[in-house]
Amino acid sequence: MASRQKIKTFLWFDKDAEEAAKFYTSIFKNSRITAVARYGDAGPGPKGSAMTVAFELEGQEFLALNGGPQFKFTEAISLLVTCESQQEIDELWGKLTAGGRKDSAGGSRTATDSPGRSSPPPCRTSCRTPTRRSRPG
């Protein structure tokens, strides 16, 4: 099936691409993993482990790669989530930060963030209703 989206966000992980995709698709409605390509005998990853994971969050397409440690996963990318209400922000914020921590820029660091492991990029939330300042802060 051909991609509907011309430009996708591409995320490079050492080895946790599938875990990150499962984490995000478990939080956002209308989200799903659409394909997983696995390494075979030729590697370079362990046979059967995920090489790429295609997933959608609210119709937005992403591709995650387990490319190894050549490039370190950084916070150079974040996801901006526009919410309809403060209640939606609070709900998503709670799920994204459960077991994690806040970063210095006010985003969330997820529970999958630990030494030696890559993690999903931080999420930022904003609210369409200007009744209360959105998280963080």
pTM for this entry? 0.67
Let me know: does 66 contact 45? Beta carbons within 8 Å. yes
pLDDT averaged over every residue in the chain: 76
Q: What is the pLDDT of residue 33?
A: 98
Q: Where are the domains of the chain?
A: 8-69, 77-137
Architecture of domain 8-69: 2-Layer Sandwich (3.30)
Q: What is the pLDDT of residue 26?
A: 94
